[in-house]
Structure 1
């Protein structure tokens, strides 16, 4: 389990990058907000995010540039390049093409490309130690001391989702609807967080549709386009107890999921003033990524407001 200080330092660096994405950023600047030496700041940043600070910044700038190209009616490539601190049209085009496999001009002309994978790791910080938004750090159960547990508040929101037929987990879902759903969801720029796999409570399901679905949460006032074959529904505010396992290697992928679910099964939320509230919202999983550990969340309520 990553130390609190390390996670918070990397979060501060991520926040600084997002706030200054259109400006030059140096390792010295990141080190100052991390409160570590430049060498140590760079090392822990790569350890937690999987990228060096400068590879991360470049990937974020290219993603933001892609979104700007997609949103603009007649974008000027050179203007977008300068907006995201690329020194020339040529340098930006080379970097964009390497990152996404398509030139920025073609991407702009075709108004996006559902096949490209945007780099949006800023969503991860919602599941780390939170400094805002009402999160409460929870003590770890002695039997699951390799799992970080916290409670986060989810506001009223909408979710864009695609339902299956009988699927109860990811692999059944992919067999029913295909595996391209995630890429479509990743392209929804108004998303509050990254896409998630969800197990819907009965009240959120429709007859003849699956328990397991994939979707992405958007603001409650969202009125944008809904991709073909998808639908949108409202979710009420709720609290989610988020479980995050330790980092793992690709070959330990299944074990990481099994271990975390065993921890969730044995966890007693009443010891910390909560109880399971599965009808309040979908239980969800985030995309498994070894460097951050497997993450899953389940709705809870505080005991003192139990009806």
Structure 2
């Protein structure tokens, strides 16, 4: 059973790592953030993330470095030094071990790779917990009508999943990192509920994917597939920012509002069979965001 004080301490260490990723990070500094002894911090961190602090730091540094190599025209040695690697050789060896490709080759070809995308430990363990004196769950719902052009979707299907949790059990937790590494992505990765017309026999309703241009000619990661998404209109819904400690409650409150929303307010009708219903990664600072397809009535 999770100790919520320990989960909060691990999250403080995660936050510190994020803030100082391009500097030397010591176990003593992490212990100061957590409020426990260095030995106890290392033990807690391993228990809650399945990685030692320095394994976690290395994987995160390499993933951030990969994005710099993908998006900026910098020398490999400069990126290595920026992310606290002592040498070109050491960086290349670690990068190849994590991603199966050298930094130089990755920079030239930018194939999809499994970026390390950790989630705050405390938020995970606080789902469904009762909390006092937190930000109230917003009842505001912001709605916009958006036109999307024809595009393609790179996705990984599950087997029977109807929800994110079921999908994570079926497909694992590395899917998001691979999607986030695709350079040609039009937007950030999404969770989605597929209409029957876009499902294959024996596959899940819920999946994860990323939208790319209609003329995309890049690499499709192993096990993934690419499908057409026709031009469509969608109502995009966004709740107010919420306290991460009320993650589950806040999201369910917004989804309930969306379910009760009358699209006639925008002279529309639902078009569930025309395109997937999509959700962006829930992040408290921006509120829960979901989009559903519609057509003019």
Which TM-score band applies after superposition, normalised by the shorter structure? Answer: 0.5 to 0.7
**1:214 to partner: Cα distance:** 0.4
1:155 counterpart = 2:154: no
SS in 1 for 2:83: helix
Q: Which residue of 2 aligns with 1:115?
A: 115
1:77 counterpart = 2:80: no
Distance 2:182 2:148 in 1: 19
SS in 2 for 1:262: helix
Q: Which residue of 1 aligns with 2:278?
A: 284
Residues 157-176 of structure 1 aligned to structure 2 (within 5 Å): 157-176=151-170
**1:116 to partner: Cα distance:** 3.8
The superposition leaves residues 222-278 of structure 1 with CA deviations (integer Å, 9 ceiling, x where unpaired) of 011100000000010001101111111111101111111111111111122111111
Query: Do the aligned residues in 1 keep the contact of 2:67 with 2:181 (CA within 8 Å)?
Result: no
CA distance 1:173–1:94, shift in 2 (3 Å) = same
SS in 2 for 1:256: helix
Structure 2: gaps (5+ residues): 1-63, 96-102, 119-137
**1:115 to partner: Cα distance:** 3.1
1:96 counterpart = 2:83: yes
Q: Which residue of 1 aligns with 2:255?
A: 261
1:247 counterpart = 2:234: no
1:65 counterpart = 2:68: yes
**1:64 to partner: Cα distance:** 5.5
Distance 1:254 1:210 in 2: 22
**1:104 to partner: Cα distance:** 6.1
Q: TM-score, normalized by length of structure 1?
A: 0.59
CA distance 1:248–1:145, shift in 2 (3 Å) = closer
Distance 1:94 1:204 in 2: 46
Structure 1: gaps (5+ residues): 1-60, 79-88, 119-143
CA distance 1:176–1:64, shift in 2 (3 Å) = closer
Q: Which residue of 1 aligns with 2:222?
A: 228
Query: Do the aligned residues in 2 keep the contact of 1:96 with 1:103 (CA within 8 Å)?
Result: no
SS in 1 for 2:235: strand
**1:184 to partner: Cα distance:** 0.5
The superposition leaves residues 29-57 of structure 1 with CA deviations (integer Å, 9 ceiling, x where unpaired) of xxxxxxxxxxxxxxxxxxxxxxxxxxxxx
SS in 2 for 1:278: coil
Query: Do the aligned residues in 1 keep the contact of 2:65 with 2:80 (CA within 8 Å)?
Result: no
Q: Which residue of 2 aligns with 1:132?
A: none
Runs of 4+ in structure 1 off by over 4 angstroms are 61-64, 102-107
Q: TM-score, normalized by length of structure 2?
A: 0.61
- Count of residues paired in the alignment: 199
The superposition leaves residues 112-132 of structure 1 with CA deviations (integer Å, 9 ceiling, x where unpaired) of 7523459xxxxxxxxxxxxxx
Distance 1:187 1:103 in 2: 22
